[in-house]
């Protein structure tokens, strides 16, 4: 009988895990320890020299974290992964691995507001420059590439508007110019989209959102697609040049198609230190077990809510790619036929003040700055998540003054709609 590859639902529960060898525990334990005992001096030397795999110190690696990394790598179809303290930490480690002072990268201008701020301001302290491009126009990325460009960054499903991006088209631009494509897949998760299948070389996640799914733990993750030749151009010395920290070892030559994940761990996480706690890794692992069930329910609820809002007299517009007449619907059907996800935006007749009345009148929805929870969430991005941006940047990012963002939860959809209806009745 032929052996079948495990399906997505099976991987979400079992990938990376096995009963604990010491106790027989079925669920991956929380290895709440700072450090690990070496077998002998030679074993310690081999671990520190990258000649053997194993645990040294929880800032660098931990068995609970390792299961989380293997599970998400399997779900995304990557070769290896690295878990860190947050989504922002994941992005910092990625660019630390590929960038040097004076170099630049091209990023979509439709991104989570915190990413726009990190790229445009915090990264300046490292000497890294960001150049903004329109994700609906792949040529706008190519026109800004020069000999100092080291990567392209997009979101597969852009926050806050829930717009889909033509990953394959932008991957063609990146690869034609010898650059890696980095895709933030937080909003879609691998249940809806697997960016590596469409040309992504690196995938990042805020584990805090849908993968964890319960609003109880912070985390970030980097997946190495194993698809990029880090040695070809000579532009990525962290991977292609001898590393003095490891006696002249060339990481790409040594570790091949998972060299990026190794470099991010031993040259980034080791020294910059944004480690995920074993307890948070445990909570996120537990959340991932129900990811397929939750994401389908999120998407099913969201399309029902979007259709209801679109027909309401007090709603000016609805931006949800799952709607048949949405400009983004063709891309949604191509990249994410199982659904358009949980998050979308709309405008209330009356603009900002009417939107404020709606947000403050909701009772089932929680008014907070997060997405991806089992609970339905609502926010006004222009005054919160995208507040630090200029008016022009807010509009470009899909967070104009009249925009309300929903993250539709997995409650009974009739209760979600009833809450929206009673809040709209107050306008």
355-365 confidence digits (pLDDT tens):
888 999 999 99
User: Which one is predicted more confidently, 388 or 278?
Assistant: 278
What tokens were used for 421? 């209806």
Please state at what angle helix 351-361 crosses helix 413-424, rounded to 10 degrees.
130
- Select from 3.50.50.60, 3.40.50.620, 3.40.50.410, 3.40.640.10 the CATH code of 9-287: 3.40.640.10
Q: What is the rounded average pLDDT of the residues 247-268?
A: 97
User: Which one is predicted more confidently, 379 or 190?
Assistant: 190
Tell me the C-alpha distance between 284 and 211, whole Å.
7
Q: Which CATH architecture has domain 291-424?
A: Alpha-Beta Complex (3.90)
Tell me the C-alpha distance between 175 and 201, whole Å.
10
Q: Own/partner pairs for 86-89, CB < 8 Å, 24+ apart?
A: 86/206, 86/208, 86/218, 86/219, 86/220, 86/274, 87/184, 87/186, 87/204, 87/205, 87/206, 87/207, 87/208, 87/209, 87/220, 88/114, 88/115, 88/118, 88/206, 88/220, 89/220, 89/274
Q: What is the rounded average pLDDT of the residues 215-240?
A: 97
Grade residue 4 by pLDDT with cuts at 50, 70 and 90.
confident
Mean pLDDT of the chain: 95
Tell me the C-alpha distance between 98 and 96, whole Å.
6
DSSP string of 21-62, one letter each residue: TTT--SSPP----SB---SSHHHHHHHHTTSS---SBTTT--
E-only strand ranges, 334-390: 343-348, 366-367, 377-379
Comparing 3-7, 197-201, 215-219, 383-387, the range with the smallest average pLDDT is 383-387
Which pLDDT value is given to residue 41? 96
Q: What is the rounded average pLDDT of the residues 130-153?
A: 97
Which pLDDT value is given to residue 3? 61
Which pLDDT value is given to residue 2? 47
- Taking residue 54's Cβ as centre, other Cβ atoms within 10 Å add up to 13
Question: What is the residue extent of each domain of the chain?
Answer: 9-287, 291-424
HSE on the CB side for 152, CA within 13 Å?
34
Q: What is the rounded average pLDDT of the residues 119-127?
A: 97
Phi-psi region of 381 (alpha: psi -120 to 50; beta: other; left: phi over 0): alpha
Q: What is the rounded average pLDDT of the residues 226-240?
A: 98
Which pLDDT value is given to residue 353? 84
User: Which one is predicted more confidently, 396 or 54?
Assistant: 54
């Amino acid at each position: 009988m032929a052996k079948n590859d495990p399906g997505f639902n099976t991987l979400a529960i079992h990938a990376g895990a096995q009963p604990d060898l010491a106790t027989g525990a079925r669920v991956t334990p929380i290895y709440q320890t700072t450090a690990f005992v070496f077998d002998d001096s030679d074993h310690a030397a081999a671990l520190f020299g990258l000649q053997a795999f194993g645990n040294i110190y929880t800032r660098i690696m931990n068995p609970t974290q390792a299961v989380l990394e293997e599970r998400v790598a399997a779900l995304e179809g990557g070769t290896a992964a690295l878990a860190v303290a947050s989504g922002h930490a994941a992005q910092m480690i990625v660019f630390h691995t590929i960038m040097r002072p004076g170099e630049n990268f091209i990023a979509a201008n439709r991104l989570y507001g915190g990413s726009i701020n990190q790229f445009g301001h915090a990264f300046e302290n490292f000497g890294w420059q960001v150049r903004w491009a329109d994700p609906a126009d792949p040529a706008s990325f190519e026109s800004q590439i020069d000999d100092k460009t080291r990567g392209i960054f997009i979101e597969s499903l852009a926050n806050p508007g829930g717009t889909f991006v033509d990953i394959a088209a932008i991957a063609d631009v990146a690869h034609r110019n010898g650059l890696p494509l980095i895709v933030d897949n937080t909003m879609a998760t691998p249940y809806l989209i697997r960016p590596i299948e469409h040309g992504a070389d690196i995938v990042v996640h805020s584990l805090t959102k849908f993968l964890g799914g319960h609003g109880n733990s912070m985390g970030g993750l980097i997946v190495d697609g194993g698809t990029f030749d880090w040695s070809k151009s000579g532009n990525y010395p962290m991977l292609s040049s001898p590393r003095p920290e490891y006696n002249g070892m060339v990481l790409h030559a040594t570790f091949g198609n998972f060299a990026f994940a190794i470099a991010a761990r031993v040259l980034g996480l080791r020294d910059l230190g944004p480690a995920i706690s074993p307890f948070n890794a445990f909570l996120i692992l537990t959340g991932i077990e129900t990811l397929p069930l939750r994401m389908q329910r999120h998407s099913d609820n969201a399309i029902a809510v979007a259709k209801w809002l679109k027909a309401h007299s007090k709603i000016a517009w609805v931006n949800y790619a799952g709607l048949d007449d949405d400009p983004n619907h063709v891309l949604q059907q191509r990249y994410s036929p199982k659904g358009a996800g949980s998050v979308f935006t709309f405008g209330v007749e009356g603009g900002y003040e009417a939107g404020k009345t709606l947000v403050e009148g909701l009772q089932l929805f929680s008014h907070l700055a997060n997405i991806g929870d089992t609970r339905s969430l609502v926010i006004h991005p222009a005054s919160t998540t995208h507040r630090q941006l200029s008016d022009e940047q807010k509009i470009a990012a899909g967070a104009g003054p009249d925009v309300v963002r929903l993250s539709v939860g997995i409650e009974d959809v009739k209760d979600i709609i009833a809450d929206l209806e009673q809040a709209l009745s107050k306008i």
